[in-house]
């Protein structure tokens, strides 16, 4: 596993503006990822263009900070939602363009959401331009480079085959094309999860699963997920699909406790047998569920900026991630759809650090433990992260 993360780099400090998407937190930033809140020097923030992901790699400029430079692990990332906007713009133009986005800047403004259903509508619009195997190889390579340039050493990336049946693309074709692009970037380890998209229903989910199983080993597909309109399609509908996936040796996660409340999380745990929960932030609405999550240390894949952009949370100050961490829930941090939400894993850690609580190193170690990595991969990741923080 090639994990190209630098070490021994001097960290540059400077003033920090209020976090994007919320009011300025109290107490200053955590110094170099420590678990205490330190009112001293705060890390330089990489500037993002408005209304879209960076056109260049996050942290690729000269003013990098500890959040850019530290090795990271990301467990909740959608391939289609992580396409760098320059790459997406090229693909849209290659298919004749779209009158609603006449410029690259207009494309960035397209990713402004009123609520979660509006986000889903925009997702469906965007995926309409991903029409060929070559498109998927191109975006997979671009996403892998984006991850490597952020010093993300290991990522679990979901793709959604049912969204592309309208273009005549099979799950096998998609997985093969995506793997081809990912393998062009040896500086990060990317494994795949298949999102069965709950809006498509359990029958199509079952058919998609069977197709993916034919290519799972070759494409390094390690798990399944169900994203989409959680509020309209409860997890219980997919119980048989999840049983089949488990029997086939795939790992299990599900979006729950995002657009729907605690009942969705309970359903994913009790009926789907998930090992992790995607988002899970609305678990705070049920103290008994929080107690269960703490007792069983079920990992949550929390994506704070995503929740703010889709209206699940009103801002950073009152985001449930703080309550979950304080309660002792096993929280990991991810960016979800960074091109849609104008964020990165580095920016998530940078903003969260300003509230104290767990350090970036602790949260990264939690992600490594929760990852569907092989034991050899896990050992290498632990050694890499531990060595970097000892040196920096």
Q: CB-hemisphere CA count at 13 Å for 372?
A: 24
The CA-to-CA distance between both ends of the chain, in Å, stands at: 23
Cβ contacts of 387 within 8 Å, gap of 6 or more: 7
Look at residues 350, 300, 298, 336 and name the one whose alpha carbon lies nearest to residue 320: 300
Q: Exactly one of 16, 149, 258, 377 is catalytic; which is it?
A: 258
Are the C-beta atoms of 320 and 281 separated by less than 8 Å? yes
Q: Does the active-site annotation cover 218?
A: no
Structure token digits, residue 142:
């671009």
Residue 197 DSSP class: -
Q: Where are the alpha helices (DSSP H) in the chain?
A: 66-69, 85-94, 104-109, 116-127, 133-149, 171-182, 201-213, 216-219, 239-247, 262-270, 287-296, 304-309, 320-327, 338-341, 345-353, 360-370, 375-391
For residues 239 and 149, give the distance between their C-alpha atoms in angstroms, rounded to a whole number: 38
Joined tokens for residue 90? 């090229």
Tokens linked to 235: 């997890």
How far apart are the C-alpha atoms of 37 and 23, rounded to whole Å?
Answer: 17
Question: Helices 133-149 and 171-182: crossing angle, nearest 10°?
Answer: 40
Asked whether the CA dihedral 26, 27, 32, 36 is positive or negative, the reply is: negative
Report how far residue 273's alpha carbon sits from residue 270's, in angstroms, rounded to the nearest whole number. Answer: 6
d(Cα 169, Cα 249) in Å, to the nearest integer?
Answer: 25
List the one residue out of 356, 348, 321 whose CA is nearest residue 39: 356
Yes or no: say if 186 and 145 are a contact pair by the CB < 8 Å rule: no
Q: What's 18's DSSP letter?
A: P
Which residues belong to the active site? 258
């Amino acid at each position: 596993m090639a994990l190209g993360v630098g070490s021994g780099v001097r960290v540059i400090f400077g003033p920090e503006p209020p976090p994007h998407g919320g009011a300025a937190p109290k107490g200053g930033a955590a110094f170099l990822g420590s678990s205490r809140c330190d009112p001293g020097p705060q890390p330089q923030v990489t500037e993002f263009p408005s209304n879209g992901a960076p056109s260049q790699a996050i942290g690729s400029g000269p003013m990098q900070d500890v959040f850019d430079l530290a090795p990271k692990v990301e467990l909740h990332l959608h391939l289609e939602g992580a396409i760098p906007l320059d790459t997406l713009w090229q693909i849209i133009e290659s298919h004749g363009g779209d009158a609603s986005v006449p410029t690259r800047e207009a494309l960035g403004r397209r990713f402004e959401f009123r609520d979660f259903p509006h986000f889903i509508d925009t997702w469906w619009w965007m995926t309409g331009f991903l029409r060929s195997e070559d498109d998927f190889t191109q975006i997979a390579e671009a996403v892998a480079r984006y991850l490597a340039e952020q010093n993300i050493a290991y990522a679990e990336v979901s793709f959604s085959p049912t969204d592309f049946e309208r273009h005549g693309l099979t799950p096998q074709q998609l997985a093969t094309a995506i793997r081809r692009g990912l393998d062009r970037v040896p500086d990060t380890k990317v494994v795949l999860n298949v999102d069965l998209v709950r809006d498509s229903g359990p029958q199509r989910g079952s058919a998609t699963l069977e197709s993916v199983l034919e290519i799972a080993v070759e494409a390094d597909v390690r798990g399944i997920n169900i994203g989409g309109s959680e509020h309209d399609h409860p997890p219980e509908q997919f119980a048989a699909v999840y049983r089949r996936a488990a029997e086939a040796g795939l790992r299990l996660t599900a979006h729950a406790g995002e657009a729907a409340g605690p009942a969705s999380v309970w359903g994913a745990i009790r009926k789907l047998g998930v090992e992790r929960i995607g988002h899970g932030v609305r678990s705070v609405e049920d103290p008994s569920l929080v107690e269960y999550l703490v007792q069983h240390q079920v990992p949550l894949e929390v994506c704070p900026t995503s929740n703010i952009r889709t209206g699940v949370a009103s801002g950073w100050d009152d985001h449930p991630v703080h309550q979950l961490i304080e309660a002792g829930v096993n929280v990991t941090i991810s960016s979800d759809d960074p091109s849609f939400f104008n964020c990165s894993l580095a920016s998530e850690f940078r903003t969260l650090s300003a509230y104290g609580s767990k350090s970036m190193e602790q949260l990264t170690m939690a992600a490594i433990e929760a990852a569907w990595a092989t034991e050899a991969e896990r050992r290498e990741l632990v050694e890499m992260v531990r060595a970097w923080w000892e040196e920096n």
